Amino acid sequence: MAMGSELESHDTRIIRAVNKVRALQAWNKTQLNWLDRFEKQLLAETVLQVEDLNEDPFKDAGGFQRLNKVFDNKLTEVINTLNDQLYIQSA
């Protein structure tokens, strides 16, 4: 972090990143529920990658292939945006 910048906890960064993704478009209820689950996973594991979606706790829901359909085949973009937003310094 730059000198003089206020340090942000990792949890705060996760919440901010997920909120940024929520604000990108008008998500449907199912998509918002998944964004909540992604946030919960990030708070527990600190990182979420596309490959993780084929593992617990997501594989029982159909893994990446099914979730990608839920997100109109843009799940990779959603996950990448979440991860990018984690390390952008808040203003």
**What pLDDT is recorded for position 90?**
60
Question: Residue 37's closest CA among 59, 13, 69?
Answer: 59
d(CA 43, CA 14) in angstroms, rounded, equals 7
Residue-wise pLDDT tens for the chain (91 aa)? 455 556 778 899 999 999 999 999 999 999 999 999 999 999 998 789 999 999 998 999 999 999 999 999 999 999 999 999 987 766 5
Q: Quick check: 64 and 54 in contact, CB under 8 A?
A: yes
